[in-house]
């Protein structure tokens, strides 16, 4: 039987955090053996907020290097850059004519981002979920591994697929969001009620995959916690609970084991242990990244071959879509 298709993507904006790693990329690595896996660097999505062009180019390549450093294997999965495959924008136009203004207005990420970028609420920010639906539907993906924050967008992709299939006959696989059970949600170190985010303006809030060991250790030492000095997982102790989650991701130990290990040892010791464990866990990724980022030819070769394969697969779907909506084919 053919393997099921999974597809996911991350935007090449700034620095990926341990939240992206433990919450997403690590799961992708685990999935690549069992699925026909497609991972994309979503540069088209990135320009919905202002980008410095040279930075965007650099971040696109560095996101690929980081995917590889985390363990994605170009022999096992399809890796490519979104703007290399023109079918994404082409399908996006067709699907935007199947998506209602009201649906897009209800997207919570659009509402959030409009609040944060009040001076740049551009049309792309509004139609962003249609482009994301195109990413998914072009490859007939069965499953879309995403964090909770993207679930609403995957549900919209389902609605769009079903609507198109109804209006024009069966064309798209209707995808499911795939939220891995242990896909941990990592919170900010300075405001543990908020998700850790690569775009947080306070660098103390996030632990980046590509910072130094010293920086990481310092950030954990300064992490905001309550003051009762008891290492225990509990809803009213968001700071410590977050550190327990992170320690668990880094070591594979359970919450119970961690509480026992640090019973009566205090926060100072615990915070140092979390910092050390995260650095140990990331040291391989960090070292591999440094090697890979120096091998530009190798990276470009992966992207070239990825783009070719992705174009081939995407065009199959796009041709079908063009035919169904009634576009005249130029090839008689
Ligand atoms: N919008 C996603 C994010 O910001 C990235 C993304 C783009 C994506 N296209 C996708 C995720 C397709 C899953 C599937 O995180």
> What CA–CA distance (Å, rounded) separates 218 from 65?
26
Ligand 1 atom index nearest CA of 128: 1
Whose tokens are 């090839």? That residue is 331
Nearest CA to ligand 1 atom 8: 9
Distance 235 CA to ligand 1 centre (A): 29
pTM (predicted TM-score): 0.91
Please list the residues that pair with 198 across neighbouring strands.
none
* 119, HSE (Cβ side, Cα atoms, 13 Å): 1
- Residue 159 main-chain phi, psi, to 5 deg: -60, -40
Mean pLDDT of the 258-267 span: 94
Residue, of 331 and 75, whose pLDDT is higher: 75
Percent of the chain with pLDDT over 90: 87
Ligand 1 atom index nearest CA of 132: 9
Class of domain 5-179+296-325: alpha beta
Element holding 79 (H helix, E strand): strand 77-81
Q: What is the pLDDT of residues 202-226, one digit of tens each?
A: 999 999 999 999 999 999 999 999 9
Please list the residues that pair with 40 across neighbouring strands.
9, 80
The domain spans of the chain are 5-179+296-325, 203-290
Task: Give the end-to-end CA distance of the chain in Å, rounded to a whole number.
Answer: 36
> What CA–CA distance (Å, rounded) separates 221 from 325?
58
Nearest CA to ligand 1 atom 6: 9
Q: Spell out which residues line ligand 1, taking CB within 6 angstroms.
A: 7-11, 42, 45, 132, 135-136, 144, 146, 150
In CATH, the number for domain 203-290 is: 1.10.240.10
Please list the residues that pair with 177 across neighbouring strands.
144
**Could you list the active site residues?**
113, 195, 198
Handedness of CA 26, 31, 33, 37 (dihedral sign): negative
Distance 11 CA to ligand 1 centre (A): 7
Q: What is the pLDDT of residues 95-120, one digit of tens each?
A: 999 999 999 999 999 999 999 889 99
Whose tokens are 């993507």? That residue is 9
Please state, rounded to an integer, the average pLDDT across all residues of the chain: 94
Distance 131 CA to ligand 1 centre (A): 9
> What CA–CA distance (Å, rounded) separates 214 from 19?
19
- Residue 55 main-chain phi, psi, to 5 deg: -65, -45
> What CA–CA distance (Å, rounded) separates 179 from 140?
18
Q: What is the pLDDT of residue 182?
A: 57
Distance 288 CA to ligand 1 centre (A): 25
Q: What is the pLDDT of residue 1?
A: 67
Element holding 284 (H helix, E strand): helix 266-293
Mapped onto helix, strand or coil, the DSSP state of residue 83 is helix
Element holding 326 (H helix, E strand): none
Ligand 1 atom index nearest CA of 42: 7
- How many C-beta atoms lie closer than 10 Å to residue 15's C-beta? 18
Ligand 1 atom index nearest CA of 153: 1
Mapped onto helix, strand or coil, the DSSP state of residue 207 is coil
Confidence category of residue 176, pLDDT binned at 50, 70, 90: very high
Under 8 Å between Cβ of 18 and 41: no
């Amino acid at each position: 039987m053919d393997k099921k298709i999974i597809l996911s993507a991350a935007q090449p904006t700034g620095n990926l955090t341990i939240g992206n790693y433990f919450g997403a990329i690590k799961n992708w690595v685990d999935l690549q053996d069992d699925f026909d896996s497609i991972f994309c660097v979503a540069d088209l999505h990135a320009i919905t907020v202002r980008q410095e062009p040279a930075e965007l180019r650099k971040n696109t390549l560095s996101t690929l290097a980081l995917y590889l450093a985390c363990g994605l294997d170009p022999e096992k999965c399809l890796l490519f850059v979104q703007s290399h495959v023109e079918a994404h924008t082409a399908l996006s136009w067709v699907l935007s004519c199947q998506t209602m203004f009201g649906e897009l207005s209800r997207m919570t990420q659009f509402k959030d981002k409009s609040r944060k970028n009040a001076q740049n609420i551009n049309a792309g920010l509004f139609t962003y979920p249609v482009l994301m639906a195109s990413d998914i539907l072009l490859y007939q993906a069965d499953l879309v591994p995403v964090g909770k924050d993207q679930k609403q967008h995957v549900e919209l992709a389902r609605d769009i697929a079903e609507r198109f299939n109804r209006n024009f006959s069966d064309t798209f696989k209707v995808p499911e969001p795939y939220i891995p059970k242990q896909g941990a949600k990592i919170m900010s170190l300075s405001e543990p009620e908020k998700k850790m985010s690569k775009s947080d303006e306070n660098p103390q809030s996030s632990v980046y995959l590509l910072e130094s060991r010293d920086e990481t250790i310092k950030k954990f030492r300064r992490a905001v916690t309550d003051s009762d000095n008891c290492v225990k997982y509990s809803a009213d102790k968001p700071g410590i609970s977050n550190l327990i989650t992170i320690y668990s991701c880094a070591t594979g130990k359970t919450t119970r084991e961690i509480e026992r290990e640090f019973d009566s040892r205090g926060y100072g010791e615990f915070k140092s242990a979390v910092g050390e464990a995260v650095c140990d866990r990331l040291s391989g990724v960090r070292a591999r990244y440094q090697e890979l980022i120096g091998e530009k030819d190798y990276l470009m070769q992966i992207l070239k071959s990825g783009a070719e394969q992705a174009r081939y697969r995407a065009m199959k779907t796009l041709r079908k879509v063009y035919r169904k909506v009634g576009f005249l084919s130029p090839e008689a």
